[in-house]
Structure 1
């Protein structure tokens, strides 16, 4: 039986189709669009656009799987709920903790990334970078206290600005495009295209985040899948357009790959292009953090209802009925992670491997559940199996960070055994 959270009457259904689409787009489009088009082109040359096309098609089954599961089983528990329905409470709670312990690390990393872009333009000190990152996180938490209706409206504006700036970047680059930049087409061989495809996988992760908001969808059976399809199309178009023009203008190589979008924009806009990219980076990172903070606070609420997390995780705001307990937990974690980064105890490159591994584990759990829950849907079953094969095949390549989810599983198993022992002694 579920434990009831404090003075809870349930989460409000406030998210219509436009809100759902913008939340999906904000969750999926991350800093990768700023970095990876140039890096991919440097590794595989013009043939990198085939890798973008391949991954765009390959991740669609994953998006469809999450959309169908959200439509049939809307819950603040998201992927953990799907797993719980098939494999029981322990497995469901485990996947919930995978996701919950990803965001406290991942969100500060994204916020610091945004601050670094601003630091280049404004010549900030390291202290100012981390203070700005903290302000981004505080702003997002406050938005989520007032409810997803407020947060999603802000998300709609932010995602609209992101799309507009990326479209501007593409259009401004068209006059500088040349067919000659597509030869030689495969300078590093076809193996390099496969290597790039694996690299690009991270650009398309984010579909799992919005499943945790599905309990607040208006008509989830109708809007969850429609939201996935609309957002997947928009994301694919934006990613592929930027990647194509990066190659067509040869805005990569010679130390320019990590700033390829800035290089491309400056072809027409000059130095002002640097500001355009800086603003884009800020918008992209705020949108991503917003989507994941909203999702993580809901999974904290769901875990509290299941008795797998402290009861105060399930505390709801008296007026807005938002999961302030989960938001408070995230605020504490954000402070700790920003402190660790500011003191340079670990760098971003190493730290980001931890949430990457738990996101991967979350997807594997969701796909395993999808295979069972969508078995009466021809397309759903195909999408779930395709997603499962892809994620399981790539998991071993995570390296040592693949042990992080296993460590979480070991701790949760130990806690569960201690609870069982306590119940046995009290009988």
Structure 2
């Protein structure tokens, strides 16, 4: 139930206000979207497409603007912890909402686990220890993210604001200090793997721009959602877009052929400008980025789980703590457990973070398609939000087509969701029939008692 609906009861208590300001919302956006995209993706994209990966970055920046603005317009009109799942329900019904909710809810644990492993590799590069250091760092980051959220948004909001300021400062510092080492010669050959590689790089970079949907789950936590969400979105789009483009350009022009050879491009960039002693600083930046991203995603997923439970798409015991200003600790515990299991699985098997990235990307693209389609249907025609939704729908459908086998995971999640709903419906029908039989038996006993 949204804040608006709770406040509409005549004679009831005034609607409960959230605590997030526009500045804190901007921080949540920036840390959620930058996150581990800054840590890992510049090198991976360069490995796929070379300097032409800059075109993929530009395309994703341009695509992210209408996507973020359409989600912000939906959040302002329908502030609810269910986020994209709520919008899918309003536009297409309960089954679609449940599928979208499950896709996002199950994408968060794999995404956070992968992000923690990326960060762990930076720490290992700075202090040594190899896989053990990577794994221990990942476990600690997941635990800190879950614990922070357990204290509620009074702690999360200010922490995110501080993290956003620190990470932006560190990124700018790294790019400025490495600028004297940049060379346009490193832009040649521009497309060593051919122009089609740009599409493959763009599909990989979905991970970098994941996060625009996360803030919608916290829309009800803003003090003035109808105003602050739009302000936070515009500010974050500009900051994130510029930082990504400048960082990608710096990685290509400064590192050159080395851009795609290492696992820690930000550390390499900082070491060029500040010396090898900058590697610990890069590890510190990676910790900040990952912690900020984990905070935003865990908070959003916990709220989503509570909202899904309220609407019957998850067990009802998860619904507790889902109102604005409350902490959905039961749902938070489930998200934390699933994250720990995802992390444990890849650590034990030695599979690394890549499978988790693929699973997360596939789910998020499916969520984006559903969210954009819902925005097209729900937002008033002729408004800026509706125009942004149309553009974003076209863009995410193209990304969907480029995702290929990564879509197998959301298809499996869809099947599991529909099976759960069917079994739940069957159980409900059985309970209703048993209740009816019990009621009929009770009435028959009453009649016999009266006759006697």
Q: TM-score, normalised by structure 2?
A: 0.86
Secondary structure of the 1:90 match is helix
Look up the match of 2:123: 118
4+ runs deviating over 6 angstroms: none
Look up the match of 1:5: none
Look up the match of 2:375: 370
Look up the match of 2:316: 311
Look up the match of 2:391: 386
How far does residue 408 in structure 1 lie from its aligned partner after superposition?
1.9
Distance 1:298 1:10, change over 3 A: farther
Look up the match of 1:140: 145
Counterpart contact for 2:306–2:320, Cα < 8 Å: yes
The one of 135, 139, 153 aligned to 1:130 = 135
State how 1:213-362 maps to structure 2 within 5 Å.
213-253=218-258, 256=261, 258-316=263-321, 321-344=326-349, 346-362=351-367
Look up the match of 2:64: 59
Q: TM-score, normalised by structure 1?
A: 0.90
Look up the match of 2:412: 407
Distance 2:343 2:306 in 1: 24
The one of 197, 214, 217 aligned to 1:212 = 217
How far does residue 30 in structure 1 lie from its aligned partner after superposition?
2.4
Counterpart contact for 1:17–1:223, Cα < 8 Å: yes
Look up the match of 2:114: 109
Counterpart contact for 2:69–2:388, Cα < 8 Å: yes
Counterpart contact for 1:170–1:242, Cα < 8 Å: yes
Look up the match of 2:99: 94
Look up the match of 2:179: 174
Counterpart contact for 2:74–2:375, Cα < 8 Å: yes
Distance 2:228 2:260 in 1: 44
Distance 1:398 1:254 in 2: 24
Counterpart contact for 1:36–1:258, Cα < 8 Å: no
Secondary structure of the 2:80 match is coil
Gaps of 5+ in 2: 3-13, 437-452
Distance 1:341 1:41 in 2: 25
Counterpart contact for 2:203–2:403, Cα < 8 Å: no
How far does residue 36 in structure 1 lie from its aligned partner after superposition?
3.0
Secondary structure of the 2:213 match is helix
How far does residue 385 in structure 1 lie from its aligned partner after superposition?
1.8
Counterpart contact for 1:127–1:342, Cα < 8 Å: no
Distance 2:204 2:429 in 1: 49
State how 1:148-163 maps to structure 2 within 5 Å.
148-163=153-168
Look up the match of 2:84: 79
How far does residue 358 in structure 1 lie from its aligned partner after superposition?
1.3
Larger radius of gyration: 2
* Residues matched between the structures, number: 421
Q: Which moved more, 1:230-239 or 1:240-249?
A: 240-249
Deviations 1:87-118 (A, max 9, x none): 11121122111111111222122112212211
Counterpart contact for 1:396–1:402, Cα < 8 Å: no
Distance 2:364 2:268 in 1: 31
Look up the match of 2:38: 33
Counterpart contact for 2:252–2:259, Cα < 8 Å: no
Deviations 1:158-203 (A, max 9, x none): 1111101100011101222234444554555544444433333331
The one of 402, 415, 421 aligned to 1:416 = 421
Distance 1:181 1:352, change over 3 A: closer
How far does residue 12 in structure 1 lie from its aligned partner after superposition?
5.3
The alignment yields a C-alpha RMSD, in angstroms, of 2.6
Distance 1:408 1:255, change over 3 A: closer
Secondary structure of the 1:77 match is coil
Counterpart contact for 2:19–2:153, Cα < 8 Å: yes
Gaps of 5+ in 1: 3-8
Counterpart contact for 1:38–1:252, Cα < 8 Å: no
Look up the match of 1:201: 206
Q: Which moved more, 1:163-172 or 1:146-155?
A: 146-155
